[in-house]
Structure 1
Amino acid sequence: MSHASPTWIAGVDACTSGWFIVLEEIHTGVHRHRIVDHAAALLHLPEQPAYLGIDMIIGLPDAARSGGRACDRAARTLLGWPRSSSIFSPPCRSALQANTYDDASAQNRRSHSDSVGLTKQAFNLFPKIRALDQALSPAAQQRVREVHPECSFYVLNGNTALAASKHTDEGRTHRIHLLEEAGFTDLDSALHAYARAQASADDILDAHAACYTARRMHAGTAERLPEAEPVPVDATGLRMEIWR
């Protein structure tokens, strides 16, 4: 009897010590998890995942407009308040080169008449955004795609945004339940395998949610935000989209 060759998909979230990865083998449902140090390593995983959903900004606008990219606005509309607050707008491309928060925020404001500043959360992610931006190409984006965990949990929850924040006990318990129902039965071992200084529980749960969306990409059931064609692209040709 012939056996299908292994087909892996993956979900990724940034963590303190690098990038937390959850891998799933499509035919068997076997899961693996690990941390890699550098964004470039995501494109050269030994499993060679067919799809990789990553919770990080891909595609940077030339000008920072109110509400961010079209995909950011669509994701906020999908989630509604209060989960929409988890979608923050990315910096404009020129601001990404700034070394201080004040300089980055000033460049962001100068990029468009909307005069949009920059959150500290976005600035703190600059090293990860830069590294992924440098590693990716439009061709690589065929399989490496931006996701947002709250949009993934929206689908897991029957196309309904979760009521409780992931930072609460109620919210974390609900997210664990949804992931376990979706087949991530070894979630508990992943949550206990890493020191908090390496990856937080939120990072681990979000990576699993991203893996679920990568599973949907492989099945052809994942949906893209924004839905309208053509998809906006940035100055380097990267599509600015969020998959769920």
Structure 2
Amino acid sequence: MRVAGIDGGGGAWTVAMWDGSDVRLQRVSHIRELLDVRPVLVGIDLPIGLPSRREPGGRRADREARRRLGRRGVCVFSPPVRESLCAATYREALGINREAGGGISVQCFRLFPALRELDEWMREDPSRQEWVKEVHPELSFTAMNGGRPVEKSKHTREGMRCRISLLDEALFLPRCGRRMEEVVGPLPVIWREHVVDACAVLWSALRILEGTAERVPAEEERDPCGLPVEIWY
């Protein structure tokens, strides 16, 4: 049984894969490479349902996620409108989103290749909605932490240490009988944040499979293309 947690960004997809006995890491250039192993369930840290209009605060799922995260809600970004994903430049993408009701950041534009690839992949086969779910790692860490958001950013040493400790207690020790570093080895600094987020998403994916996960919003919502607008944790 394979279950995957995926972090998109940094020019590749970081995958934490549970194979039934261990967590294994890999980097793939294209999400279609996952079809070679076809996990039972995939959690992914990128928006799946995309809006046609920009609303203040983004999608309802984004707004509810921010409320749950409090001060850490700044790490939830509002996705762009689908129409803008074909833009070749930031200025063009910004103009399309402004016409649709709001702007986007340069950081959001840098995610366009991954957002575009994921969106095309999800829309070409509607059955993928059954086994590919949007997850936000900060909501996952909040759930691991007894409902309390992790106050320190993952970009700080203390914040990273806290998240790894939560993963040890929630994922690695119960599932593998070993701590994260013993399972995946020392992590290069440039890759560490992607791996930690992918592992958090994997933890939530396992919860989805076992029926213990939660989502925002609680009610089903879909975008104009029929994709679910929800964030699991």
TM-score by length of 2: 0.91
Query: Which whole-Å CA distance do the structure 1 matches of 2:213 and 2:36 have between them?
Result: 23
Which residue matches 2:217?
Answer: 226
User: What's the CA shift string for 1:163-193, capped at 9, x where partnerless?
Assistant: 1110111100000100011232352253536
Displacement of 1:235 in angstroms is 2.1
1:80-119 matched pairs, under 5 angstroms: 80-81=70-71, 83-112=72-101, 116-119=102-105
1:142-153 matched pairs, under 5 angstroms: 142-153=130-141
Displacement of 1:107 in angstroms is 0.8
**Counterpart amino acid of 1:63?**
R
Confirm whether residue 19 of structure 1 aligns to residue 13 of structure 2. yes
1:182 counterpart SS class: helix
Confirm whether residue 187 of structure 1 aligns to residue 204 of structure 2. no
Query: Which whole-Å CA distance do the structure 2 matches of 1:194 and 1:41 have between them?
Result: 23
Query: Which whole-Å CA distance do the structure 1 matches of 2:202 and 2:186 have between them?
Result: 19
Confirm whether residue 238 of structure 1 aligns to residue 227 of structure 2. yes
**Counterpart amino acid of 1:102?**
R
Which residue matches 2:26?
Answer: 34
Query: Which whole-Å CA distance do the structure 2 matches of 1:30 and 1:39 have between them?
Result: 21
Confirm whether residue 201 of structure 1 aligns to residue 187 of structure 2. no
Displacement of 1:22 in angstroms is 0.7
1:20 counterpart SS class: strand
Query: Which whole-Å CA distance do the structure 2 matches of 1:68 and 1:10 have between them?
Result: 27
Aligned partners of 1:17 and 1:35 also within 8 Å = no
Aligned partners of 2:140 and 2:203 also within 8 Å = yes
Query: Which whole-Å CA distance do the structure 2 matches of 1:194 and 1:177 have between them?
Result: 18
Aligned partners of 2:167 and 2:199 also within 8 Å = yes
User: What's the CA shift string for 1:197-229, capped at 9, x where partnerless?
Assistant: xxx21000000000000110111011111012x
Q: When the two structures are aligned, how many residues end up with a matched partner?
A: 225
Confirm whether residue 120 of structure 1 aligns to residue 114 of structure 2. no
Query: Which whole-Å CA distance do the structure 1 matches of 2:179 and 2:162 have between them?
Result: 16
**Counterpart amino acid of 1:78?**
R
User: What's the CA shift string for 1:121-175, capped at 9, x where partnerless?
Assistant: 1100000000011111332011111101100001111111011110111100000
Change (3 A) 1:174 1:194: closer
Which of 45, 54, 61 matches 2:44? 54
Confirm whether residue 164 of structure 1 aligns to residue 152 of structure 2. yes
1:150 counterpart SS class: helix
1:214 counterpart SS class: helix
Aligned partners of 1:53 and 1:213 also within 8 Å = yes
What do you get for the CA RMSD once the two structures are aligned? Answer: 1.6
2:96 counterpart SS class: helix
Change (3 A) 1:24 1:67: same
1:139 counterpart SS class: helix
Identity %, equivalent residues = 40
Change (3 A) 1:97 1:60: same
Aligned partners of 2:23 and 2:184 also within 8 Å = no
Query: Which whole-Å CA distance do the structure 1 matches of 2:107 and 2:146 have between them?
Result: 29
Displacement of 1:52 in angstroms is 0.6
